[in-house]
Structure 1
Amino acid sequence: MVFDGHSDLLYDVTRRRMLGENRVLERCHRAQLLRGGVEGLVLSLWTSGTPETFWKETDCRTAAQRTARMMACAQAELAECQDWLVVVRTAREAERARAAGRQYAFLGIEGMEAIGADLSGIDRYAGWGARLGMLTWNEENFLATGVWGDSLRGLTALGKRAVHRMRQRGMVVDVSHLNDRSFQDVALGADGVVIASHSNCRRLCSVPRNLTDDQLRFIRDTGGVVGLNVHHAFVHEEAQKQTAEMLARHAAHMADVMGVEHVACGFDFCQYMGPGNEGVEGMENASQIKNLFYWLERMGMHSQELQMIARDNFLRVLA
C-alpha cells in the first residue's frame, strides 16, 4: 500500500464543483487511487499558480478569496466522501482509518500567498486541519521566495516568524518550491523536522525545483523525508528518459545520499490539468504507481525498503 504525500486533486474538485458537479473524488479519481494501491494521501490547497481562466466566472480575485473558495469546496466534497475517505491529522488516526478499511487524507497548504503579511492566517490553516505547509508556491510573497523569484531573496523576517508559528501549530515545514536562498534560510533556523513533499534530485535532473545533495542531507539531518515527483520535467531533461525507471533512479540516489528511511512518495499527479502536466512514461496517473516499485525491486531493493518508501517513512514524520 502507498501513501502519496502530495496531491493536487482539490484543484480538480474545486473546478468541477464550481461547474455544478459533486462527489468528484469518488466519480473521477477513486478508481485510479485504488488500482495504484493508494491507502492515503495529502490533499493540498493550491491557488497561487492556478490559471485565471479557472476563476474567470467567479468573484475570487485575490489569493485569499481563492483559497477560501477551494477550502469550502474541499469541505463540501469531503463531507460527501465520509463513507470511504476519512480526513485525519495524525498517523495514529490514519492507521485507525486503514484498519477500518477506509482511505484517509491529510490536508496541506501549497503556498501562503493568501495570508499576505498576516500570520494569523497560519492559525486558520491549522484550524482547517492542515498538517503540512509551504511558504510559497513558485512566486515571491511576504514570507519567502519560490523558484521563479529573485535568486538573492530568501525568507523575510516575517517568513522566519511564520516558520516558528507553523511549528507552534503542529504544521510540518515543507520546502518544495522554495528557491535555494529561502531553503538555506530555513536550514539556518531549523529547529524541527523539514520535508520536501514533492521534489527530485538535481544531480539527475538539473532544474531548480529539484534538490542538491547537500539539501538532501540537510533534510535527512532533521529527520525529514523527500517525496518522489512524477512530473516529467523534474525527472530528466531528455524526453526519452522521462520514465518510471528514471524516477526509480532518483529514489536510489536519494537512498544513497540520505538513507532509504528518508525517501518517500509525493507524486504530484496532475495530468488532469492539461498539456504540460504529464507524468513520466509508465506513471501517467495514480493507477500506475506500482511501476515505480517494480523498478526499485529490479534495482535490488528488498520488501522492507519498498514499504518504507511506499508509506512508512512519510507517516513516521506525521506521527
Structure 2
Amino acid sequence: MQKSTITWDDLLTLSTLMRVGSYSACARELDITHATAIRRIRRLETALGKPVATRTDGTFVLTAAGRNALAAAREMEQSADRLLREIEGASPGVSGVVRVAATASLGSHFLTPRLPAFYASNPDVEVRLEVDNRVTSLARRRAHIAVRLARPQEDSLVAQRAGTIQFGLYAPTVMSAAVAESRDTPLCGLLDEGFSLPEVQWPLELGRRFSFQSNSFVAVREGVRAALGVALLPHYLAAGEPGLTLVRNVPEVLREIWLAYPPEFRGASRFRPVIDWLAEALSNCP
C-alpha cells in the first residue's frame, strides 16, 4: 500500500485558500486552474485522512486537522521567506532590483522625481515602485521596503521613522483668502472610507458642503485647480503648483512617514543605499 505524503504545494494551496477565501481567487494567486486548487486540497485531506475545512454560508471554516495543517503551512512559508531574505541581504555589490511600496501620491509625485539623484550615485540599482494606498504586505514579497503613513505593527520588521507630511488649506489662485475661509465656499476632499484619518476628519469638522470628493489626493488637487472649491492638501503635492495658492498652514494635521523592512536588509549592500535615500528624501518632505 502506497503511503500518502503531504506536499508543499498542497499546504501552500490551503494557506492561500484560507487567506483569499475562495478557490477562484486562490487559483488566480497561485497561477493554477480552479480544478487544480480543488484537487490539491482533496489530496491534502487524503494524506491527513480527515477533512481540512467545511463550508458554511460560502465561508471556509477549518477543522482541527485543518488548523494544524495551516499552522504548519504558515511556519513553512515564514521559514522559506526568511531564507530568501537572508540570501537577498547577503548578495554582494550595490546592484540589483529593489522593490519599494508607497502611497500613490507620495510615490508618484514626491519619490519618483528624486530618483535621478539616487541613480547618479547608484547606477546599477533598479528601484521598482509599487504605488498603492493599501498597506502592502512585505511577507508576501510584493516589496522589499514599504513607505507607510503609520508606524509598522509587525514585530518581524524594522520600523524606521523617516519624516512628516504637513498640510495646508489651498485655494485656486483666482480666489481671495477671505472667500476661501468663508463657510459658503465649498470643499474638495478625500472620501471618508471609515479609517478616521486626520486629513479626512479635519475638512468634515469645518461643517461646509463638499462640491467634489475622491479617493485620490491628486484628483482633489485638480478639483481645487479647476476652482471647484478649497481643500486640505499635503504641501509636497500642492506647494508651488500653478493655479493653487496657500491660504494657511494647518499644523494640527500631520502624518508620520515610516519605513518598514526586514532586519536582514539593514546592512545589506543592495538595500542599504535605497533605505538611506528614502530616509533622507522623506526627512525633507514639506
Query: What is the TM-score with the length of structure 1 in the denominator?
Result: 0.23
- Higher helix fraction: Structure 1 or Structure 2? 1
The alignment's TM-score, normalised by the length of structure 2, stands at 0.25
Bigger CA radius of gyration: 2
- Larger relative CO (CA 8 A, sep 6+): 1 or 2? 2
Higher-strand-fraction structure:
2
